[in-house]
Amino acid sequence: MASWWGPRGWQTENRKFEFKPNGVWHYCMRCTDENQGEFFGQESWGKAVYQEIIPPEKIVYTDVFEDHKGNAVDRMPEMLITMNFVEHEGKTKLITRS
């Protein structure tokens, strides 16, 4: 996931990755692109907790902003993310709802 997660110019570090129901993904995205101005050098920490994994159809997880120690950031939203993988014209279409 680290190779495609996050926007261009940001790299993702996986601190913990347990891809299973109730498993935790603790990660950090860092801006490594100097052309992104004030974002360069910034970090964004998060934690996902997987609720449901149905191969090859669906992944459901919660995602929250955290600090580097794994503590939730006050007054930031917790998001419920549903990813559906659908066959479409011989390819896989990803539908994400947050």
Quote the pTM value: 0.83
- Residues near 33 by beta carbon (within 8 Å), at least 6 away in sequence: 8, 9, 10, 39, 40
CA distances from 87 to 4, 60, 92, 96, 97 (A): 21, 18, 5, 14, 17
The CATH number, out of the four listed (3.40.1210.10, 3.40.109.10, 3.30.530.20, 2.60.40.1110), of the domain defined by the range 10-97: 3.30.530.20
Cβ-contact 1, 12 below 8 angstroms: yes
10-residue stretch averages of pLDDT, the chain, 98 residues long: 81 94 96 96 96 97 93 93 97 96
Q: Where are the domains of the chain?
A: 10-97
- Residue 79 corresponds to which tokens in the numbers above? 């998001």
